[in-house]
Chain A
Amino acid sequence: MLIGPTAAWTLLFFLVPLGIMVVYSFGQRDVVTFKLYWGWTVQNYVDIVDSLYLNSIVRSLLLSLTATGLCLVIGFPVAYYISRQSRRRQNLLLLAIMVPFWTSFLVRTYAWVNLLANQGLLQRLGEKLGVVSGALDILYTPTAIGIGLVYSYLPLMVFPLYVALERIDPALPEAARDLGARRHRAFLRVTLPLAMPGVIAGCIIVGIPATGEYVVPAILGGGKTLMYGNVVASQFFEVGNYPFGAALAVSLMTLMTVVLLLSRRSTARLEEVV
């Protein structure tokens, strides 16, 4: 009985739309008349095997991996620091991380255009500090996309890491140090393994949406870096070839599901060890 509302919600807003998309991916649409034909064809999936689409998948995966790695490197110390504060301070710091979410994602991404542009705030600040001379030339590059992705997804990495780190009994790394382990060894052998479920959860939460990210590359990439999300959007919004767009989306989703299942298996194994 209790599961009813959740099941209904999942069915209505997740499984049904997903099913529609899968069904669409086997159809064909006349791009002139927009009429849909249900031939149950796999042609859409065959068409994906094209260097244009495969390259965009590879490009998206590489950028997503880089952004996820950077989020982890930056997010871990942040989460660790927060987890070692008093409860009141923890709440304040977590609130500070959440505050940007109160503003539209689109607006925040556009704000980076002004920050990264030549003669933008970042360049002027760098010039004042004497670390930059001349144009930054960052905007509309893959670096700008990377910065945008890390900025956008960093909080999603910090939260699961914080939850995992906060659960670690401070006595455990202390005991390791009492037993002669140096600080970094205690971290590597005790803290990090215990935080691994949070690391994996953070990587999934960041990595999966970052792979299909559309807005950040479109705004900060200057249209020069074709990502998978942009290809999907192009099929839906411009060409009007919904079946092919659906096939592209289903393919990426399948890939991500495989990654998710593999990571779940790793998490389960880790939890058994811990």
Chain B
Amino acid sequence: MDYLKRREVSQVLTRRELFRRGAEVGVGGGALAFLAAACGGGGDTAGGTQATGSGTSAGAPAALSGRLDFLNYPNWIGEGEYAAFKKLHPDLTIKEDSSGAGSTSAIATRIQADPNAFDFLLLGKAGVPQLEASDILADIDFAKVPNIKNIPDQFREAYPWGIPTDYGKIGFAYRKDLVNERPTTWKDFFDLAPKYSGKVILLDVLEDTMGNTLIMLGHDGNTKVESEINEARDALIDIKPHVQAIIATDVAKPLINGGAVIGMDWDFDIALAQQKQSNIEWVAPQEGLMAYIEGWVAVNTSDQLEAVHAFMNFHLQPEQYADFVNTTGTAYLMPSATPLIKKEISKNPVLAFDEATFDRVTFEAFKGEALGTWTQAWNQVKSA
């Protein structure tokens, strides 16, 4: 049974490797995720098949009806969450769209073309300001989302536009049976690349790979200073001859099979890889590390903002939030949900909340006009 449960989480995470991070920011991953989703993703998932039975704890809700359109990653919701919400509001249907809207620009374009396309959506911190600048976001009335109190202030401050739902760190991992050294910093990572030439993996996500390189160089991981961006570019070009691949899907696979011995990766991916290969060691580098934070934001053209607020509040009930975390296997933001979360997640040192590591984290942020410089530099790395 435990195996089946783990397998279930593993499958979700494997799909996530393909869709979620790449869908937001990856140079290659974004379009690939779109293609992959077009091949098999998407569709309506209005209503799950299992109710958790915990949804009624919020008290008597106001009657809501109609339809909520929700842009989400595939399977990125608690398995019983829709059904439990439906019990509270039988006349309200949630239509989930996970057909791979792709990057923030693709989402914005879609909403600009069809203002009624979505009522609310899942989006990372790096992308939200773009929608804000495009005047697409609705203000959230947090008085209608009292369960926001369950989210610690540091996450609310990092994601003020809506409700933060999950976050993740981008560090590196190595095979302790194949690497003699015990690297603890980004400098170690870069210094070891020549020794383990051809066995080094980089993430195909410019915000993360460039950001972590900037941190190693002592700069802000979201810098807009061209000279600093170019410095990071040059550092990456220097180690590129030793890099086996710059990928956004199946990132941990070479580490698992030994084809690579050290690689930059997301924490959730390494947590999953460690289930398959116990010699994989996770490192949250001492200089600091990039992280993403995601959440739900509402669209200002929605005529269902009451329902959006209600569902946001519902999602932040510890029982529902735990269902979400247990289904997806994500690193979580709500300490009060810990007793309800599977131990393989809550006790996992890679995923568990750690104040010391959190202090070193730099959240991906919108680059504004500097996005062009970042992309140009990243393309130069890839074409070098």
Which residues of chain A have C-beta atoms less than 8 A from B135's C-beta? 33
A11-41 to B contact mask, C-beta < 8 Å, 1/0: 0000000000000000000011111000000
Name the CB-closest residue of A to B35: A106
Chain B residues, CB < 8 A from A215: 32, 35
The interface-forming segment of A153-161, A162-170, A222-230 is: A222-230
CA–CA, A240 to B366, complex, Å?
13
Interface residues of B, dominant DSSP: helix
Give the chain A neighbours of B106 by CB distance below 8 A. Answer: 236-237, 240
The answer to whether A119 touches B109 (Cβ under 8 A) is: no
Q: Are B257 and A240 in contact (CB under 8 A)?
A: no
Q: Which of B26, B31, B104, B244 contacts A214 (CB 8 A)?
A: B31
- B 231-251 binary contact with A (CB < 8 Å = 1; else 0): 000000000100111111110
Which parts of B156-196 form the interface with A (CB within 8 Å)? none
Residues 31-55 of chain A: 1 if any B CB is under 8 Å from the residue's CB, otherwise 0? 1111100000000000000001001
| Contact of B368 with A by CB under 8 A | yes
What CA separation (Å) do A106 and B249 show in the bound complex? 13
B103: CB under 8 A from chain A? Answer: yes
Q: Mark B103-116, 1 if CB is under 8 A from A, else 0.
A: 11110110010000
Question: Are A31's CB and B383's CB within 8 A?
Answer: no
Collect the chain A residues with CB atoms within 8 Å of residue B206's CB.
Answer: 238
Which partner residue on chain A sits nearest B109 by CB separation? A34
Interfacial residues of chain B within 324-372, with CB under 8 A of chain A in the complex: 368-369, 371-372
On chain B, which size bracket covers the interface? 35 or more
Pair A107/B34 contact, Cβ less than 8 Å: no
> Which of B35, B130, B245 is close to A140, meaning CB atoms less than 8 Å apart?
B245
Known: A223-B28, A239-B372. A33 touches B134 (CB 8 A): yes
Knowing A33-B133, A34-B130, the reply to whether A119 touches B259 (Cβ < 8 A) is: yes
Nearest chain B CB to A121 CB, angstrom units: 12
Q: Tell yes or no: B380 within 8 A of A by CB.
A: yes
The reply on B379 being an interface residue by CB < 8 A is: yes
Q: In the complex, which residues of chain B have a beta carbon less than 8 angstroms from the beta carbon of A192?
A: none
The answer to whether A239 and B105 touch across the interface, beta carbons within 8 angstroms, is yes
Instruction: Kindly provide the distance from the CB of A85 to the nearest chain B CB, expressed in whole angstroms.
Output: 35
Residues of the A chain whose Cβ atoms lie less than 8 Å from the Cβ of B250: 113
Asked if A233 contacts B372 (CB within 8 A), the reply is no
| Size category, A interface | 35 or more
Contact in complex: B259, A239 (CB < 8 Å): no
**Contact between A31 and B369 (Cβ–Cβ < 8 Å)?**
yes
Q: Is the CB of B258 within 8 A of A34?
A: no
A233: chain B residues within 8 A (beta carbon)? 27-28, 30-31
Given that A106-B36, A231-B379, A237-B102 are known contacts, is A223 also in contact with B257, CB under 8 Å in the complex?
Answer: no
- Output the nearest chain A residue to B198 by Cβ-Cβ distance: A137
* B39 at the A interface (CB under 8 A): yes
Closest B residue to A137 by beta carbon equals B198
Let me know if B140 is at the binding interface, CB within 8 A. no
CB of A156 to closest CB in B, whole Å: 19
Interface presence of B65 (CB below 8 A) = no
Given A52-B379, A231-B379, do A32 and B31 touch, yes or no (CB 8 Å)?
no
A117, B257: Cβ atoms closer than 8 Å = yes
| Set of chain B residues within 8 Å of A66, measured between Cβ atoms | none
A226 near B382 with CB under 8 A, answer: yes
A218 near B28 with CB under 8 A, answer: yes
Residues of A contacting B134 with CB < 8 Å? Answer: 33-35
How far apart are the CA atoms of A104 and B39 in the complex, in Å?
7
Nearest-Cβ distance from residue A102 to partner chain B, whole angstroms: 13
Q: What are the residues of chain B within 8 A of A52 when measuring CB–CB?
A: 376, 379-380, 383
Check B204 for interface membership: any CB of A closer than 8 A: yes
Residue from the list A34, A55, A139, A224 in contact with B105, Cβ < 8 A: A34
Contact B246 A224 (CB under 8 A): yes
**Contact B105–A56 (Cβ < 8 Å):** no
Whether A238 contacts B105 by the Cβ 8 Å rule is yes
A135 within 8 A of B: yes
State the Cβ distance, B168 to closest chain A Cβ, in Å: 19
Q: Does B214 contact A (CB under 8 A)?
A: no
B103 & A238 in contact (Cβ 8 Å cutoff): yes
Interface string of B241-282 (1 = CB under 8 A from A): 001111111100110011100000000000000000000000
Q: Are A34 and B112 in contact (CB under 8 A)?
A: yes
Q: Does B375 lie at the interface of the complex (its beta carbon under 8 Å from any beta carbon of A)? A: yes
Q: A135-B259, A224-B243, A233-B31 are in contact. Are A240 and B104 (CB under 8 A)?
A: yes
The CA-CA distance from A225 to B246 in the complex, in Å, is 10
B25 in contact (CB, < 8 A): yes
A219: interface (CB < 8 Å): yes
A237/B34 in contact, CB under 8 A = yes
Provide 5 A-B residue pairs closer than 8 Å at the C-beta atoms, listed in order of the A residue.
A31-B105, A32-B130, A118-B259, A119-B259, A236-B31
B residues apposed to A, CB below 8 Å: 25-28, 30-32, 34-36, 39-40, 102-106, 108-109, 112, 130, 133-135, 198, 202, 204, 206, 240, 243-250, 253-254, 257-259, 368-369, 371-372, 375-376, 379-380, 382-383
Q: A33-B133, A33-B135, A117-B259 are in contact. List 11 more A-B contacts (CB 8 A).
A: A31-B105, A31-B369, A32-B130, A34-B105, A52-B383, A113-B250, A223-B28, A230-B28, A233-B27, A238-B25, A240-B108
Q: Which residues of A contact B (CB under 8 A)?
A: 31-35, 52, 55-56, 59, 104, 106-107, 113, 117-119, 135, 137, 139-140, 214-215, 218-219, 222-226, 230-231, 233-234, 236-242
The 4 closest A-B pairs by CB, nearest first: A240-B105, A222-B245, A223-B246, A226-B383
